[in-house]
């Protein structure tokens, strides 16, 4: 027991006063004589005996009253168990990622957490609240009540490492209490192990009651015909039981197609046939689980013809005219001697087809074209000057030609994972009828080859949008023109120049898009959400490249949906953004919490901290005891004779 006012205990010397009063009675007895003294003697003895008992009871009671009163004023207490941590700073880390939309016992997990914070945090307690998107430093419940009530779900994952690094960067002489509230879906299993051991860490793991969830993962164009797109929608069922769910396709807000998805396996692809027109809408389901992954927004640009210019001899370019047909391409072939340099900046694809020599002026123009995100396809000539080529390629990319070798080589290796061959092959082909060339150049490059010879040497290399062949493709030098590979290879190299296709970007990832636009000085492009009543304009990072603008998206926008790219008030192109599907699997919580203080609620943690750090004051009990003793004395005075 300890005392807040120990000096008051000196007043215990006052206990001598009632003792002295009771021991030294100053009253004297007078003698009175009566005729019948025998009866009076007995009465006198009995009265004096009971009077002695009463005096001793009163003495004891008054001593106890005075002692209890002195102790009450001295304010005794028992020291707190964790008194040294009473000045600790409190940090509350709340996961507000999309998986916290899941339903718990009392509603959505995140909403229930925020209600508990409002109800159980003391109004006078300072703390810092950190989430995936918001930080509130050294505040209290009253100050951020509105923010707590309106905290939104975040597309960003709850990165424990990132939040803890912010806490560690806060220099303070006080120790830290860390309270982590999360469902730990898709969490780093080692994140908790990196917590500073000096932190007093509590963990509140949350769990959804129902973990079944269905998400729309991706969309792609499987096949394109003259009038239609065949669009594939991939869904994932994270439940163990088989189920059915309706899937709708909306253009703007109009339902244009609907199907019932039956899950025989966890993943399912559903195909829809859409008219070959501009599309700006979404696919939608309703699975009564997580809502953020129930819509997938996507856009399909109105098909535009691609401008392709081939520079080379007409007889060696015939095969190109068969690939780049009039329905999809504006294809032109010109001899080098007839080349109009003004045509080059209007092109999207330039093919340098077996030129024995490339003039310096053309090299400079092609280099500028490549730097402005132009698409170049280079086919060497058997008579090419190696030194001239290497001098040019130093300004384009890490490509180096060695002298030509007159040896027949098979082209046997295909990089099936390269974007050029995405959705071209249903499976990796091993029994292919491989083409060959009779003469080829050794090409050294750091770029990953798209096609390779049998000895692993590169036949076709890609550095960005610059594609380089290692051998002439004319029929005298080989049979590549007759190979089934030639059509998808050249077709997709041209489509790679930013052609109409599906736009369904993921928020939070670096996305690049080239838009046809000629900007004036200091003019910029803006992005605006479609059909939005609020001001949603934002300006992405942009770089002017001739009559094109390269847009780069990172963390903007923050909200999924269909958007438009605007030059002033003129819309140039529709694009779509979606939240990453990284938290759709509610069974993906693998963090080991056995080494941490695990609690079931914020209330229990606050109670524990307050109990351990609050002194147990008992002066009130002494005050109550004083009152009871006073009442006892009154009873003794009245009833004890």
**pLDDT of 295-309, one tens digit each?**
999 999 877 788 999
Q: Are 145 and 67 in the same domain?
A: no
Q: Are 447 and 560 in the same domain?
A: no
**Of 452, 419, 460, 450, nearest in space to 434 by CA:** 452
The arithmetic mean of pLDDT across residues 372-392, rounded, is 89
Q: Is 265's pLDDT higher than 60?
A: yes
Q: Are 7 and 117 in the same domain?
A: no
Q: Are 365 and 437 in the same domain?
A: yes
Helix (H) and strand (E) counts for the chain? 11, 37
Domain-located, residue 266: no
Q: Are 146 and 102 in the same domain?
A: yes
Which pLDDT score is estimated for 26?
Answer: 46
Which pLDDT score is estimated for 85?
Answer: 47
Cα dihedral 307/312/313/314 (nearest 10): 0
Q: Are 608 and 542 in the same domain?
A: no
Interhelix angle for 360-371 vs 386-393, to 10°? 30
Q: Is 636's pLDDT higher than 60?
A: yes
Which pLDDT score is estimated for 120?
Answer: 85
Domain that holds residue 564: 502-578
Q: Which residues pair with 223 in a beta bridge?
A: 230
CB 78 within 8 A of CB 632: no
Domain-located, residue 292: no
**pLDDT of 548-593, one tens digit each?**
888 898 777 888 999 999 998 899 989 999 999 988 988 877 667 7
Q: What percent of the chain has pLDDT over 70?
A: 87
- How far from 286 is each of 243, 445, 600, CA to CA, in Å? 13, 50, 31
CATH of the domain at 542: 2.60.40.10
Instruction: Name the pTM for this structure.
Output: 0.64
Give the span between the Cα atoms of 35 and 273, in whole angstroms. Answer: 135
Q: Are 530 and 428 in the same domain?
A: no
Helix, strand, coil content of the chain in percent (nearest 5) = 30, 30, 40
**pLDDT of 310-326, one tens digit each?**
999 999 999 999 999 98
Q: Are 329 and 431 in the same domain?
A: yes
Domain-located, residue 229: no
Q: Are 342 and 479 in the same domain?
A: yes
Domain-located, residue 486: yes
CATH of the domain at 313: 3.40.50.880
Domain-located, residue 287: no
Domain-located, residue 285: no
Give the span between the Cα atoms of 29 and 478, in whole angstroms. Answer: 146
Domain-located, residue 224: no
Domain boundary among 436, 466, 495: 495
**pLDDT of 454-502, one tens digit each?**
888 999 998 888 999 999 999 999 999 988 888 888 988 887 654 557 8
- How far from 629 is each of 105, 622, 638, CA to CA, in Å? 52, 10, 14
Q: How many domains does the chain have?
A: 4
Q: Are 376 and 486 in the same domain?
A: yes
Domain-located, residue 466: yes
CATH of the domain at 159: 3.40.50.410
């Amino acid at each position: 027991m300890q005392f807040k006012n120990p000096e008051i205990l000196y007043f215990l010397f006052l206990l001598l006063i009632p003792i002295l009063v009771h021991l030294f009675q100053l009253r004297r007895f007078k003698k009175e004589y009566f005729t019948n003294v025998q009866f009076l003697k007995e009465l006198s003895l009995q009265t004096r005996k009971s009077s002695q008992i009463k005096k001793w009871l009163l003495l004891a009671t008054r001593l106890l009253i005075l002692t209890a009163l002195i102790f009450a004023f001295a304010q005794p207490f028992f020291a707190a168990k964790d008194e040294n941590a009473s000045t600790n700073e409190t940090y509350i880390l709340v996961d507000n990622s999309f998986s916290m939309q899941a339903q718990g016992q009392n509603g959505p997990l995140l909403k229930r957490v925020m209600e508990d914070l409002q109800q159980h945090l003391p109004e006078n307690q300072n703390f810092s609240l950190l989430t995936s998107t918001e930080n509130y430093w050294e505040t209290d419940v009253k100050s951020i009540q509105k923010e707590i009530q309106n905290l939104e779900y975040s597309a960003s994952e709850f990165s424990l490492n990132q939040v803890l690094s912010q806490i560690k960067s806060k220099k303070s002489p006080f120790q830290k209490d860390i309270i982590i509230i999360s469902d730990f879906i898709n969490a780093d299993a080692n994140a908790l192990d990196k917590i500073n051991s000096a932190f007093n860490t509590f963990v509140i793991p949350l769990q959804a009651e129902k973990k079944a969830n269905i998400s729309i993962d991706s969309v792609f164009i499987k096949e394109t015909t003259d009038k239609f797109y065949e669009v594939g929608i991939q869904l994932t069922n994270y439940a163990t039981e088989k189920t059915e769910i309706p899937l709708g396709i909306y253009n703007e807000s109009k339902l244009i197609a609907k199907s019932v998805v039956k899950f025989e396996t966890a993943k399912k692809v559903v195909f829809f046939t859409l008219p070959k027109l501009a599309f700006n809408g979404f696919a939608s389901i309703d699975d009564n689980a997580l809502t953020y992954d129930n819509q997938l927004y996507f856009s399909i640009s109105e098909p535009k013809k691609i401008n392709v210019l081939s520079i080379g001899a007409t007889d060696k370019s015939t095969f190109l005219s068969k690939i780049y047909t009039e329905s999809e391409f504006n294809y032109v072939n010109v001899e080098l001697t007839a080349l109009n340099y003004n045509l080059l900046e209007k092109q999207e694809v330039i093919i340098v087809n077996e030129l024995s020599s490339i003039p310096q002026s053309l090299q400079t123009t092609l280099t500028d074209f490549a730097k402005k995100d132009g698409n170049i396809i280079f086919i060497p000539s058997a008579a090419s000057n190696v030194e001239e080529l290497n001098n040019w390629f130093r300004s384009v990319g890490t490509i180096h030609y060695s002298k030509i070798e007159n040896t027949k080589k098979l082209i046997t290796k295909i990089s099936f994972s390269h974007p050029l061959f995405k959705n071209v092959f249903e499976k990796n082909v091993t029994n292919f009828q491989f083409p060959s060339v009779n003469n080829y150049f050794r090409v050294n490059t750091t770029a990953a080859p798209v096609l390779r010879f049998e000895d692993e040497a590169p036949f076709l290399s890609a550095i960005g949008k610059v594609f380089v062949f290692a051998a002439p493709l004319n029929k005298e030098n080989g049979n590549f023109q007759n190979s089934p590979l030639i059509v998808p290879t050249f077709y997709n190299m041209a489509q790679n120049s930013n052609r109409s296709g599906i736009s369904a970007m993921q928020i939070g990832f670096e996305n690049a898009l080239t838009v046809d636009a000629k900007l004036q000085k200091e003019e910029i492009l803006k992005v605006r959400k479609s059909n939005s009543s609020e001001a949603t304009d934002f300006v992405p990072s942009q770089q002017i490249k001739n009559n094109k603008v390269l847009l780069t998206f990172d963390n903007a926008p923050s909200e999924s949906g269909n958007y438009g790219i605007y030059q002033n008030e003129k819309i140039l192109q529709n694009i779509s953004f979606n939240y990453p599907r990284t938290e759709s699997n509610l069974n993906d919580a693998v963090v080991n919490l056995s080494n941490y203080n695990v609690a079931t609620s914020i209330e229990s943690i606050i109670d524990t901290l307050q109990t351990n750090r609050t002194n147990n004051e008992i002066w009130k009990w002494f005050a109550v005891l004083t009152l009871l003793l006073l009442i006892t004395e009154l009873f003794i005075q009245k009833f004890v004779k």
